[in-house]
Amino acid sequence: MDRVAYDEFSLFHENAAEFGLPYDGPPVVRREAVELDDGRRLSALVWGSEPAELVLLHGGAQNAHTWDTVALALGRPLVAIDLPGHGHSDGPREHGTAADNATDVATAIRALAPSANAVVGMSAGGLTSIGICATAPELVRKLALVDILPNPDPVMARRITDFVDGPEAFESFDEILARTMQFNPTRSESSLRRGILHNAVQLEDGTWQWRHGQHRRPASATPPTPEQNAARMNALWDTLGSLAVPLLLVRGMADGSVLTDELEAELRRRQPAATVAHVEGAGHSVQGDKPVELATLLAEFLDS
């Protein structure tokens, strides 16, 4: 059984090379953990030594390293948090809700980035960031949503869920890589290889498991009802509609995006002052498909 060596801080030069970014040596990045009120811990990557200017929240089944290229392109102090049950963070609260996740992440923001100028959330991280606007609005001075709004397109969302809900373990790294390449045909093999190293762990028997797979919902757990899901989405829309801070929506325009023209129109109706940016060639994970373009949009939003 061959063990695959992994150092999470040794791959930044690959991100820079793939996207043509200047690289003078490893960036200043450290991993920190924040203890929650029940003893669980949320983990985060802290970029830079100055107070964080922004907070980055990844999508479901991802982790803080999904933002590495964006962080390199931005070159600003920031914090990228592993959501509960993802990356190096502990699992969510037992019988916890999405609102509980928002409360947990707000605790981490207070500890690591209390004066950040913006919170940026992609997919599940975006919905979490809207939840933080409701439970801890003082932490969100600007809000950027990356390819997410309440009630995302169910067909595209199902494609993502089907991939995430795949095998619980893989016999080899090559097997998990092959499945990931099939799901992300436009990405380079090197970028997907990095992503797997950050987002999966090799078990003692040599098999591989997604880090988030360690916190799968038990088969016996009762999923939310359609009525509960609808109520949650309506509450998120209400929160968005009442926001009094600058709002940016970044929408991927290629196959894979979970947004539609109708959803964008609904946001414009509720928030006429919102800025909407379309990114050609990007699907749902804009930070992976077009990270430099996303970094430019975020920098402009921060400085506006």
Catalytic residue among 43, 89, 123, 257: 123
How far is the C-alpha of 98 from the C-alpha of 207, rounded, in Å?
Answer: 31
Active-site annotation holder among 147, 212, 257, 289 = 147
**Three-class DSSP category at 61:** coil
Number of H helices, E strands in the chain: 11, 10
Look at the chain and count its residues: 304
For residue 217, give every residue at least 6 positions away whose Cβ sits within 8 Å of its Cβ, in sequence order, or none. 223
Q: Is 147 noted as a catalytic residue in this protein? A: yes
Beta strands of 108-229 (E only): which ranges? 118-122, 143-146, 200-202, 208-210
Report the relative pairing of strands 275-279 and 247-252 from DSSP bridges. Answer: parallel
Residue type, 193: R
Report DSSP letters for 211-259, one per residue: GGGGGPPPTTS-PPPHHHHHHHHHHHHHHHHH--S-EEEEEE-STT---
Q: Is 123 a catalytic residue?
A: yes
- The residue assigned the tokens 């003082």 is 138
Beta-bridge mates of residue 247? 143
Residues 6+ positions from 207 with CB-CB distance below 8 Å: 169, 170, 171, 172
Q: What angle do CA 22, 23, 24 make, to 5 degrees?
A: 125
Q: Give the separation between CA 17 and CA 149, rounded to whole angstroms.
A: 32
Task: Give the catalytic positions in this structure.
Answer: 123, 147, 284
